[in-house]
Each structure stands twice: as structure tokens, then as C-alpha cells.
A and B are shown apart, each in its own frame.
Chain A
Amino acid sequence: KAGVTQTPRYLIKTRGQQVTLSCSPISGHRSVSWYQQTPGQGLQFLFEYFSETQRNKGNFPGRFSGRQFSNSRSEMNVSTLELGDSALYLCASSSQGGNEKLFFGSGTQLSVL
């Protein structure tokens, strides 16, 4: 069974631009979560989607948004990029998204110049 797939692997953008990251969960998994990882703040929860609905959201500004499609694939979008948005963005999937382990992809490394 294939793991969680994230594209692209690396991305370089400039301040003010927007970016869209993609995630394909493990086959059969319906819950997709997104995390931001930085050296200063560690791993922080962005949001979770299940059946195309956002069920949970972390403490990030509205510039960070996401969506989920009917095949459970998910995208996250960051608008009006800031230098501080440079981070590794990780997607994780699980069967139902309840209190269960998450399986992570390798992430998208975003650099904002």
C-alpha cells in the first residue's frame, strides 16, 4: 500500500505570492491533517479534513486554508506569503481522524524569499 504522497517536494516563492501544496492520503484513509514544522516552533497543527469538511483548525491566520476532494486528496493554500512561512509542510492521513495514529508524508519544503 502506498504511503502519503506530497507534491511538490521543494518550492521557492517570494513574499506576497501564494502557494498550493498537494497531498494524497493512504488509500482508504478519509482524514487528512496538515502540520507546519519549523526549527523554532517545532511541529504545529494547521487543520484537519474529513469527507471534504474541515473538522478542526489550529491557531494560524486566515492566509492558511485548505480543502479536501471527494477522493480524499487534499490541498492547502497559503496566500500573501511572508518570510516566516518558510517551513516544512507535512500532511498526515488516518482512517477516521479520531484518536488514532497519523501517517505522515515526506513534506513540502517551502522557502519564501
Chain B
Amino acid sequence: GESVGLHLPTLSVQEGDNSIINCAYSNSASDYFIWYKQESGKGPQFIIDIRSNMDKRQGQRVTVLLNKTVKHLSLQIAATQPGDSAVYFCAEVGGGTSYGKLTFGQGTILTVHP
């Protein structure tokens, strides 16, 4: 479905804690998923991606988990830092060739307190 974002979920953590941001996606045929970070006044910045033939992928301080059974995606950020404060979006690409079309989730506001 299309992204709807009237009231974004929020997550507030202390510096050094681990953060988990969740996302439910809509299309069971989606085969590629991306997490983006958007800071105020900037465009979305790529964090990590995962294809549907995987259930886990790790990057630097970040891990993405994919559960296709319940159509759920999560982003784990280890040792969260104040610079991680931003809005985080999951995005899915439907089955087949998308030609530039990502369907974004509503986003989650992460606030990290020093």
C-alpha cells in the first residue's frame, strides 16, 4: 500500500543503548527491502538492504531482520549514538522489476539522548 504518515511512531533511547525499529510491509510479493535514514533538511540516506532470499543481514552497527511469514522487517542499531537521531523508513520493492518505485513505510522517529 501507499505510505501514510500522519502520526509517526517514536522511539526514545539513551546513548549506548541498542535500538530496534520495526516495519510491517504490505506486499507478500515484495522481494527487496531497504532501510533509509532521513535527517532534518536532507533526503533519505541508504543504510542497509536485504533481499527476500535472506532473513538477516549485518552492516556496521546495523542489522536487518526479515520475517516473510508475518511480513515484518526490523532494523537493529547497536550502541546508538546521538548522531543516529533521525526518521527511519523501511521501503519495499514489489515482485518483478520496479523501475525506480519504492513503497515507503510511514517512518519512525528515533531520538537518542546523551
Contact = CB atoms under 8 A, between A and B. Distances in A.
Given A41-B3, A43-B3, A98 B43 contact: no
B75 to A, nearest CB: 15
Given A42-B4, A104-B36, 19 more contacts: A4-B43, A31-B99, A41-B2, A41-B3, A41-B4, A42-B3, A42-B104, A43-B91, A48-B100, A55-B99, A56-B100, A94-B100, A98-B97, A98-B98, A99-B32, A102-B46, A102-B100, A106-B43, A107-B42
8 contacts: A31-B99, A40-B4, A42-B3, A55-B99, A56-B98, A59-B2, A99-B93, A103-B46
The interface size bin for chain A is: 20 to 34
A39 B103 CA distance: 16
Contacts of B44: 43, 90, 104
A31 to B, nearest CB: 6
B41 interface: yes
Nearest to A58: B101
Interface residues of B, number: 30
A41 B2 CA distance: 8
A40 B2 contact: no
Interface centre among B4, B6, B98, B107 (most CB of A within 10 A): B98
A59 B3 CA distance: 13
Interface of A: 4, 31-33, 39-45, 47-48, 50, 55-56, 58-59, 90, 92, 94, 97-107
Contacts of A44: 2-3, 104
Nearest to B107: A42
B15 interface: no
B5 A97 contact: no
B84 interface: no
B102 interface: yes
B98 A105 contact: no
Given A43-B104, A101-B46, A50 B99 contact: yes
